[in-house]
Amino acid sequence: MQLRAPDYLEQFQCLAGACPHSCCQGWEVVVDEVSAAVYRTFPGPLGERLRAALKTEDGEDFFALTDTGHCPFWDADGLCAIHRALGPEGTSEVCRSHPRFIEDYGPLRETSLVASCPEACRLLLSSSAPLTFPETETNEAGEEADPWLAPLLSVREKLLEILQGRPRKLKSRLAELLALAEEAQILLDEDNAPLLPALCRMWTGPVSGCHVAGTGVFPRAWEVLSGLEILGDDWRALLRREREPVPGAVPEALLERIVAYFLFRYTLKAVNDGDLLGRVQFALLSGLVVERAASLLPLGEALRLYCREIEHNEDNLHALVSAFRTESSLSIPAFFQTLGEEGKDLKLDLDNCAD
């Protein structure tokens, strides 16, 4: 099996009691079936404490939070009582894996560190170098690859190449990768995924075309975000404040890394439903939202809050991606207007695409 992850993965170490935003605070702690079965029969005082905290709703086991919003096993020193007594293997699967998100795509397994974790966020923003995703290989046998996997991998590779094409202005690069995603989506919708590698090889980029009118994706994007489920009052307060990007406040290299993080995490999910364009729009909007939020907060905190609110809530993710198809203010022309791109056309004849 092939393994791929961001280049800072091996540097990650949980801050444990020193973490300023512990995942044991404000999060519902889901308990997997195996762990729940162990907890229900565990002896002694710890077993009694485990059973008292364990709740079940809609067939899902979890630990009910305390009145202070903490996991009931989060001790005063910021450490986990279960981890202290039983070691890491005694904790629930979600606790063992956080902040890692693992996606299996047949013979390929990809691991991300979600930037809602302060240390993962710090590592992502600790370098101005282009973000890379080294690949290793194990003897583990993976499942058969979906026919769309290889074509989508070629598109993601090209998207990252465009994104990291310094020294061009970043907004110009973002507009180009959106143009490529739109053309790739046409091929997917026509069930012509095998033509995607040729599209990427022959891609010469968009050129100026007709004028794109409109107000761009803002302020409508803020209204859509405000209508999603909100976890924290800090995020709600941020959404209520005026915000505009401050020129130069976010270095282009760091904004590039943020967009690369989202492209890596989400592009290949199109293998499940064919919506490549929506996920590229999500990556771009995420970068633009964080850029504006960073006019009110430090960049790391702006990114952490956004990821906490959006990436851990599947309903929020689905609603946001769906809005790209239903909201004219979040349409492709609106994105181009926000990015300062005056239209697009392609120096490409799709009829000549071939493997």
In the chain, what are the domain boundaries?
24-97, 149-352
- Identity of the residue numbered 215: T
Helix (H, G, I), strand (E, B) or coil at 176: helix
The span from the first CA to the last CA of the chain, in angstroms, equals 25
Query: Which pLDDT belongs to residue 153?
Result: 98
Exposed/middle/buried for residue 308 (C-beta within 10 Å: 0-12, 13-18, 19+):
buried
> How far is Cα 265 from Cα 267, in angstroms, rounded to an integer?
6
Q: Is the pLDDT of residue 281 over 90?
A: yes
pLDDT band at 350 (very low <50, low <70, confident <90, very high): very low
- Identity of the residue numbered 69: G
Query: Which pLDDT belongs to residue 64?
Result: 85
Q: Which two tokens stand for residue 343?
A: 């239209």
Q: Is the pLDDT of residue 324 over 50?
A: yes
Query: Which pLDDT belongs to residue 352?
Result: 47
Summarize pLDDT for 146-192 with one digit per residue, the tens.
999 999 999 999 999 999 999 999 999 999 999 999 999 999 999 99
| Closest alpha carbon to 31 in 66, 73, 60 | 60
> How far is Cα 72 from Cα 52, in angstroms, rounded to an integer?
10
- Identity of the residue numbered 20: P
Distances (CA, A) of 318 to 16, 60, 78, 94, 227: 31, 21, 33, 21, 13
Of the two residues 178 and 14, the one the predictor is more confident about is: 178
pLDDT above 70 covers what percent of the chain? Answer: 93
pLDDT band at 142 (very low <50, low <70, confident <90, very high): confident
pLDDT band at 111 (very low <50, low <70, confident <90, very high): very high
Q: Is the pLDDT of residue 219 over 80?
A: yes
Q: Is the pLDDT of residue 237 over 80?
A: yes
Q: Which residue shows structure tokens 């100026």?
A: 208
Query: Which pLDDT belongs to residue 346?
Result: 38
Of the two residues 42 and 353, the one the predictor is more confident about is: 42
The β-bridge partners of 31 are: 61
Q: Is the pLDDT of residue 79 over 90?
A: no
| Closest alpha carbon to 84 in 73, 70, 94, 92 | 73
Q: Is the pLDDT of residue 12 over 90?
A: yes
